[in-house]
Amino acid sequence: ARRFGELAGEHLGVRKDLVATALQHDTPGGEMAQPGGVALDWSKGECEPVPGRTMYNLTVVERDYGAVGEKFAALGPLVDRLGVTT
């Protein structure tokens, strides 16, 4: 991770990505907020596409590729015992 961070920092630097995430089923702003409890499909023309309401959420995420090594090192000793999900 440290070596990757060194190379990535030089070649990639800090970048912004647009990340799409699904609407959650049990949140006030997600599918529970759909009128009448019916989730219309914007991709089929049933409603207007509104991010976070009638279509997936869109979030801009900043990624600092040069800091990958430091981020892994900052996880701490519990990673050895508990692991990580990815």
pLDDT of residue 41: 85
Is the model more confident about 3 or about 26? 3
pLDDT of residue 33: 65
Question: pTM surpassing 0.85?
Answer: no
Give the pLDDT confidence of 14-69 residue by residue, as tens digits.
999 999 988 777 666 666 666 676 778 889 999 899 888 788 889 999 999 999 88
Is residue 70 helix, strand or coil? helix
Which residue from 60, 74, 75 is spatially nearest to 15, judged by alpha carbons? 60
pLDDT of residue 44: 94
Can you tell me the distance from the alpha carbon of 75 to that of 86, in angstroms, rounded to the nearest whole number?
13
pLDDT of residue 86: 63
φ/ψ (deg, to 5) at 67:
-100, 10
